[in-house]
Structure 1
Amino acid sequence: MAYDPSDWELVRSRDNVLVAKHKTDASYLKIFHANKLRHQLAYFLGHSRAKKAAAGSAMLMNAGIKAPAITEIKDGCCIASIVMDAVEGIGVYDYVMWLTQEKKENAESQKKALFSALGELIAKMHQRGIFHGDLRPNNLLLASENGKVTCTLIDNDRTRKAFRKGRESIRNLMQLMMIRNDYISDEIRGYFFEAYGNGLELTPDTIKMFQEGSLAIVQQRLNKLGAQTIVDIEKSDLYDKIYDSTLRSFL
């Protein structure tokens, strides 16, 4: 199917991805440009980003987790695209920033409830062996549906089942925690990890290991941005401990 550019409004464009919203239909178009040799090689090896995006969304939906429905796939060596149902909502990062900057009443209690719910959601995903390739906070869209807050995971072209589950768990937790300290406190982060650990039936020591290990990595990255300290810990051997055989086999 050919796309008429006049029907679409550009949302964002990067080096190898373009996203546009249809002007009348409730749908989005995402175009993947294989402008690097490794992308073209991946296509010939059967790793189409368009097909992977469709598979990732389907995987999440089959697990009872909200994701955009892919309605059309167009594949090719140098360019591929998907059309997906529009998902309205606000990203987690934008939402907590808004709560903080606008000094909303009960902002801290709302953050507590939100991050507890997110902990349960990510635990549900990991319990099913599914890992998101880019779990940055704004890739989780919040919306109100029948009086309840829902969360939809977007950008699913790298969502997959993974063999190294401990490693991928830490990656997802670290990605989601990349939020400035003046927006969420250590206490709020603690509610997330408590809910996450309880959802996976982890021991308190293992929950602590996940929390300290992922936040240590986040700390390093935020330091490069000149951010405040998240947790006053040394990385030491925490990251290596996370990959011990007991934890890997449990996950």
Structure 2
Amino acid sequence: MKSRPRHAKRNATLSLSVAAAALVVVPVAQAVTVPLQGVPDRTQISVQTPVGINAATPNANESRPALSLSKLYLGYWVLHHGAPEDQAKVEQMIRFSDDNIATELDRKYPQAIPEVIAQFGLTTTHYNGFWGNTTTSTNDMTTFLQAIAMDPVAWPLINGMRTASPVAADGYHQDYGTATLPGIWATKFGWSDDRQSVHATASYGPGFVIAANTDGPSEQLTQDVQAVRVVPDLGSAALVP
């Protein structure tokens, strides 16, 4: 099936600008994280920028099922340390969210996800013996995505997100959550086996990365993500209903 780049299809309300004239650039070491209030507890959302202006829901450090987003951690390690024939499989694993490739690579490299957790200091991410049992938080996911954004070795992984197939290897439609926001150009999707209990997405946008996870269906994740926007205000940000 021919894949296509991700483009927002809906009019969403979440926008994050770090180029406002009055906005003072904050060094990453002095990162400012503004709480995103008003988001239902069922959903966690994190936004990070390279200049340290971040936003997150109060529950953004909860370790929740990573679902197929754990393939990002796995794929990154394989691109850096795996055999060439395995590195060549990463982009397809991400583009189609291919469980078979993920299981193959995870069995061959069981150290992959634990070493990525340690490398990036992902304190709320836990590998429980299988990629599909990994848990993570939206804070950890955005920290990871921000850190690898300029890593040329990671490009097959990011390009797999950029060209995510409309339909995954298992037939599930990949078009929800953070992928529906304006300007988003690359997304990884995750969903529970029953396709109802948990959904998650992580995306690259213009000048920011964003991740979201909800206890519920894909439509609910999209609804909760689109219900907020982040507006800069003299170096801080505020949630606008």
Whether the TM-score (by the shorter chain) exceeds 0.5 is: no
Query: Which one has the bigger helix percentage?
Result: 1
Q: TM-score, normalised by structure 2?
A: 0.26
Higher gyration radius (CA):
1
